[in-house]
Amino acid sequence: MRLHIGIDDTDSPNGMCTTYLGALLYRELSRIAEPIDLPRLIRLNPNIPYKTRGNGAVAMIFKVEEEFILEIKNTVLFYVNQLADFTHENTNPGVVFLEGDIPEELREFSLRALREHVTIEEAERVAREVGAEVFKFKLGRGIIGALASIGYPLESFTYELLAYREPKNWGTLRRVNSESVFLADRWSYPFTYDNVDPYKRSVLITPHGKDPVLVGIRGIDRGRVIQTFERVEFGEPVAFYQLYKTNQNTDDHLTYKKIGELRLYDSAVVRGRVAGPYWERGRHVFFELEDETGKIRVAAFEPTKKFRNWVRKLLPGDEIIAAGGVKEHDGVLTLNLEKFYPVKLVPKIEYQKPKCPRCGGTMKSKGDYLKCKRCGHKMPKKLIPVEVPRELERKIYEVPPDARKHLSRPLVLPGGEEKILEPTNQKV
């Protein structure tokens, strides 16, 4: 008998991590049942406000003899009871069990939890309909992620190797040799990626919180992921590690929508026309995008750093395809950009001063007339419109690795352009 187990919302910013609990359980349960495949780390809608970090849930499947089912379920519930951070207000664990195959209705629920906002009640209703057993702790919001991670199709996937710290080191600075990470990255990139930020010369595989994760190494080739990990030098013991199969970096969250259809917390790809000049507030860059169904504010926030320079080069009338998550910013529905593709750019006209008609010298503005710097000739100020090159290319622009959503596919990977350049998105 196949037993699906889903767990979510066990951690808080003060510690713990659902993947750690999942990795411990995967080990423990493998003694009494046969694991089918690796455990799964499923990232769900990155825009919902309840997430601690990356809205990740964990699922695993075992082939279990009937007589051990109860023992397995009790072990899972015991671990969650022992390890979840119940003290934090925003930690509301959920555990779901499902025996047998995944019904279509559950798959559909998973994709909705990935791309939209769903409620605890909806999760309970779907669980009832598909015959899943649900355990709620506190508010039990975790059942949404737990159920969705069980039903997730995971047709395209990547890997993440998560290495964990000894409990005595939790909350202290992670001791990982940076140089070894750069060397390991040079050896395996792009089969593993996002190990380092080459421009800032910083290491990206180490989180910064109090959680038990020492490093996470992501890649599309499981052998390379493990070998990359083996090349990294640590200044503290690795308690253990677990390879996860995951929907990270698949762009699975993106679906094509019309601007008028966008709702709070959606993840989507839209095609539209830049409706006016960009503006800045704080260090964030904003502009408006419209299609025949509506208009939405689009933002490139400060952490997207140099990506903002490309956004600043957009002009009113440009047609672009934009991908991102819908959130509320200052009370306004805003698409937080992850990637954009300039489809059609309007000509950029600059008004330049003519050369001096008498001597060919350079003219200088003096109020409403122009004066030659060389011969002093004066003439009324009449500027000449000149078309200047647009600095944007016909290529996809993406945010830098440390601002990238877990689900967003880096362009360096095969398929990184697919969701943006789908034929449906190309229609005017």
Query: Would you tell me which residues interact with ligand ATP (CB under 6 A)?
Result: 8-9, 11, 17-18, 44-45, 48, 50-56, 92, 94, 113, 117-118, 141-142, 144-145
Q: Which is nearer to ligand ATP, 138 or 313 (CB)?
A: 138
**Residue 349 near residue 388 (C-beta atoms within 8 A):** yes
CB of 127 to ligand ATP, least distance (A): 12
Closer residue to ligand ATP (CB): 135 or 278: 135
Measured from the CB atom, is 55 or 408 closer to ligand ATP? 55
Amino acid making up residue 85: D
Query: At 394, phi and psi to the nearest 5?
Result: -85, 75
At closest approach, how far in Å is the CB of 406 from ligand ATP? 8
**Closer CB to ligand ATP, 44 or 196, in the complex:** 44
CB of 171 to ligand ATP, least distance (A): 15
215's enclosing H/E stretch is: strand 213-219
Which of these, 46, 35, 134, 47, lies nearest to 93 by C-alpha position? 134
Neighbours of 390 (CB within 10 A): 15
Distance of closest approach, residue 93 Cβ to ligand ATP, in angstroms: 8
Nearer to ligand ATP, 321 or 407 (CB): 407
- Which residue do the tokens 């808080």 mark? 12
Name the pairing type of β-strands 213-219 and 158-165. Answer: antiparallel
Q: For residues 45 and 195, which CB has a smaller minimum distance to ligand ATP in the complex?
A: 45
Between the CA of residue 182 and those of 33, 107, 205, 244, what are the distances in Å?
39, 39, 11, 23
Contacts of 348 (CB under 8 A, 6+ apart): 315, 387, 388, 389, 390
To ligand ATP, the closest distance from the beta carbon of 421 in angstroms equals 26
Considering the complex, state which of residue 52 and residue 336 has its C-beta at the smaller distance from ligand ATP.
Answer: 52
Cα 63 from Cα 101, distance rounded (Å): 12
Q: Give the Cα separation of 301 and 358 in Å (integer).
A: 50
C-alpha dist (Å) from residue 376 to 268, 306, 315, 352: 59, 43, 37, 19
What is the nearest approach in angstroms of ligand ATP to the Cβ of residue 266?
Answer: 10
